[in-house]
Amino acid sequence: MMNKTNIRGCQLLFFWLTFILSIPLGSANAKQPNIVLMVADDHGREAFGAYGNNSIRTPHLDQLAKEGILFNHAYGTSASCSASRSVLLTGLQNHANGQYGHEHSYHHFATFDHVKSLPVRLSQAGYRTAQVGKFHIGPRATYKFDQYLKVVGQSADGSRNSVGMAKAAEPLIFAKSDEPFFLYLATNDPHRDHAKNSLGDNTFGNKPDDKGLALERLDYQAEDVEVPDYLPDIPETRRELAEYYQSVSRVDDTMGELVRLLKAAGQYDNTVIIYLSDNGTAMPGAKTTVYEPGIRLPLVVKTAKAHKAVTEQKINKTQAMVSWVDITPTILELAQVPFKKSDFNGTSFVPVLNEPNKNHGRDVIYASHTFHEITMYYPMRVVRNRDFKLIWNIAHGLQYPFASDLQIASTWQGAIERKLVNFGKRNFKDYLFRPVRHAGRFAKLW
């Protein structure tokens, strides 16, 4: 028979157990950081000041690189929008998540229903999850967010309103809540647009050329740009790159507005910011290819001070090799959300964030591209280490298929009209009709 002391002890134990179990999942750890994953659309690393381009103006992204870590060997797994984004948000290669190509319209590729995505995992762990901007993956139930933020499609001058995406997140950032937030912000810039300027070049979402001003309506001129070696240095290329630079600078403005809001809300120091692109520049030789310009991409990570502060270290660049399959497990570890390593094809690179001079534990990446548009079947497989790269063109007997917007690009058409033998550093014929294998040292940039 229990005495009064034992009964009292049991009552106290029951009280504390009830109290602990009543705490919502995720709010028990006050050190969980906010997390922002900002994904640009077709931002090649060659158009980024911190990666060595002295002609483009990306001051806010460059500042983020100074306060965080810039990755010199970051790789997408597929140079296509939907396919790449599905990998980012699942930690699974496309053959494992099912999203081989575009989600929208008649393309209709989708992720398997059973896949548990990053936003779902974070929401279940107590994060307030929100999405704004380009979605381009499906089904929605698989990539479910708590909030879908709305933004006006165009700015006052008629250009894309990427900065409005950051402004749309203001209520989320300023909300009085004990729960951390996860913001997935995906700009449409610097993707190609459906409009052309008065010279016939794509406007890349910039303000319309209604008055026939061509490049005079922009902050960049043809002579300002740096033409990468995978493109021909012809007038059409330079004009399109000037339009492209303007669109990239709008992405930079979006980052600037996002940082301003985080600081104004007192949230900046406790927010992880990850900036990257889904694939390379929307130019032949980059996007939709597994050549280096298509899959070797920008990645900048600013950690929260609740984690180990990179700002206290002298090193802000790392040579560690990471892949987009690593993004989901990395975010989950930063968020202190438990997971099984076997759930993912990638691995967390949080140790690199702590010590940027260390490797990721592997010096190899894999890429797999099968579709872009539904009509663009051309499966390619890639293995790449620090010194060598192998591309297996499985359907090498076919002519390499073009994305519709790249086929009509003035850069490509201008090269054809001039009857150039080479497109950049590659022979025209070799670009269209590819061997079963490309293999070589890194310097060749296959």
Q: Cα–chain-centroid distance for residue 32?
A: 23
| Rounded-to-integer distance, Cα 36 and Cα 438, Å | 37
Active site residue 10: no
Q: Cα–chain-centroid distance for residue 361?
A: 22
Q: Cα–chain-centroid distance for residue 274?
A: 9
The enclosing H or E element of 11 equals helix 4-21
Pair of tokens at residue 278: 């889904």
Closest CA to 374 of 408, 398, 404, 412: 404
Catalytic residue of the set 47, 56, 64, 81: 81
Pair of tokens at residue 388: 């060598």
Contacts of 321 (CB under 8 A, 6+ apart): 73, 75, 359, 360, 362, 363, 364, 365, 385, 386
Alpha-carbon distances of 173 from 163, 329, 390, rounded to whole Å: 15, 24, 44
- The full length of the chain comes to 446
Contacts of 174 (CB under 8 A, 6+ apart): 261, 264, 265
Q: Give me the residue label for tokens 């989901």.
A: 328
Question: 351 preceded by cis ω (within 30°)?
Answer: no
The enclosing H or E element of 426 equals strand 426-427
The enclosing H or E element of 133 equals strand 128-133
Give the catalytic positions in this structure.
81
